[in-house]
Amino acid sequence: MLTAARETKTGFPGAHRQARRRALALHPAYIVVAGACAVLLRQAMRSGLSGDVFYELAAGRWMLRHHAILRHDTFTYSVAGRAWLDEEWGFQALLAWLVAHVGPVSYWLLSAGTCAAALAASVALWRRNGAGPLWSGALAVVGAAGLSVGLSPRPQDLSYLFFAVLMLLLYVARSNPRWLAAVPVLFLTWANVHGSFLLGLAVVALDLASALVKAAAGRRVRQLATCLLASVLATFANPAGPRLLAYAFRVSTSPTLSSFIVEWQSPNFHLPLLLAAIVVPLLLLVAAIAFGGGALDPPAVLLALALFVSTLHAVRFTPYFDLAACAALAKWRPLGHETLRPSTLTAPGAVLLVGALLAGPHVAAGTPQVKGPLGCPVIATNFLAHQSGRIFTTYWWGDYLDYRGIPVFIDGRTDLYFGTGALTTYMRVAELRTPPDPFLSRWKVKWVLWQDGTALATYLDHDPQWRKVLVAQGAVVFERDLEAPRAVR
């Protein structure tokens, strides 16, 4: 009996150690998932700010300062005071608050952080859908490639997270319908952040249609129908009320957007990463349909193919397409039986990989990008900030001037200018399809901030009414020479 007692005493510590090891053991494939998330953070840390984020921050600061939702234009002299339905006000206020209270690292949190969270939610969905750890790791690489296409501190990145969470909720609700109660809450937030909540409503509607086609139990059909109705009603809880749905649909289908905004145009397949992010999941889908033996879920495949068609029309749908394609591919078993076992070395290995990927120089958080076609004219703007008189600048740079508190003729809020003719006039002047001088005189423009070497810059460089005063970072500043004779062209 004494021997048995000793064996019992010595056996407990060993059992506890084994239990701890099992608790700490993770499948090696999660090293790949951690690496994919780290790549997203690496991209954010090595990219400066540009474009829309500046007017988003400017609008958010205005709302925090005035304790009110921005409902009219305050940044331009062309449509000053015009009513503006700001469908992204929630993101703008969140961005401004985080930057003020957390710091510039908030830009990374709202871009790479939300994309990594979307990837994590997607991995959880794939695993629940039966995908093995190795296959989930492979899909994480595909998903991260798609998310990297839209990586930027803008409301779209929050939408990727909402999209991934919605798909996870709908899947979990198949076995536990109580999770459907969280879906309207998700839409309540989504509708106050970005207009892509319409895509989310389409996903819920597709799930309902699938239940009807499968002749599912009447209870599930009623639950999904109630969920869809509640979700639609939840989107009404926004500053614009029910008309936000029509407005978001009109903006999303406007041909004007594809004329001015690259992300609303067809993909540029000369970019290797973009090509891979679109072609690889498509080829995997085709292979799974051909060789998967009917394992795929038809509604999931239909959603992925619909988003593929949308991506061919507008590159901004690439992240949604990749996440939807990976969700459809989760049921495929191309790797067969996975034999790798969980290991306690997985967590240290993930930490080492993440550290290696994030090591090296990076751009300070919140720093404007100054190089390349997306760069900001920081030096030129610093000069103009101390001058008086109206400034005419590019559609892209207008956002940066919003952030600097300088009124502009036009900026990236394309929907604000619908019905005003401002966008058309801007393009005609920028492309020299109309004489610039009468336009610039009519609007009492004293300064022109433009890209050096372009058609308008070359024109003004030879126009006696204008003189070049500064060239820096690919930007050129012209000042109207009030004493020069007016030339008619």
Per-residue pLDDT of the chain (489 residues; tens, 9 = 90+): 444 444 444 455 666 556 555 556 888 999 999 999 999 999 999 999 998 999 999 999 999 999 999 999 999 999 999 999 999 999 999 999 999 999 999 999 999 999 999 999 999 999 999 999 999 999 999 999 999 999 999 999 999 999 999 999 999 999 999 999 999 999 999 999 999 999 999 999 999 999 998 866 688 899 999 999 999 999 999 999 999 999 998 888 877 777 777 788 899 888 899 999 999 999 999 999 998 777 889 999 999 999 999 999 999 999 999 999 999 999 998 887 888 888 888 999 999 999 999 998 999 999 999 987 789 999 999 999 999 999 999 999 999 999 999 999 999 998 899 889 999 999 999 999 999 999 999 999 999 999 999 999 999 999 999 999 999 999 999 999 865 544 333
Indicate the SS3 state at residue 390: strand
Instruction: Write the CB contacts of 333 (distance below 8 Å, at least 6 apart in sequence).
Output: 132, 135, 292, 295
Question: Rounded to two decimals, what is the model's pTM?
Answer: 0.92
Tokens 């900030």 found at? 385
Enumerate the domain spans of the chain: 28-356, 378-480
- pLDDT score recorded for residue 264: 82
Give Cα separations from 166 to 103, 159, 257 (angstroms): 29, 10, 27
Q: Which two tokens stand for residue 368?
A: 């404007």
**Amino acid sitting at position 221:** V
Task: Give the per-residue pLDDT at 315.
Answer: 93
- CA pair distance 448, 468, nearest whole angstrom: 9
How many residues are listed for the chain in this entry?
489
Angstrom CA distances, 185 to 101, 248, 326, 375, stand at 26, 19, 25, 38
Per DSSP bridges, beta strands 445-451 and 475-480 are antiparallel
Distance CA 258, CA 264 (A): 5
pLDDT at position 23 is 57
Strands (DSSP E) contained in 256-395 are 390-393
Helix or strand holding residue 471 (H, E):
strand 466-472
Closest to 123 measured CA to CA, from 72, 180, 165, 74: 165
Position 17 scores a pLDDT of 59
User: Which residues, including other chains, have CB under 8 Å from residue 267's CB and lie 6 or more apart?
Assistant: 274, 275, 278, 311, 312, 315, 318
**In angstroms, rounded to a whole number, what is the distance separating the alpha carbons of residues 486 and 18?**
88
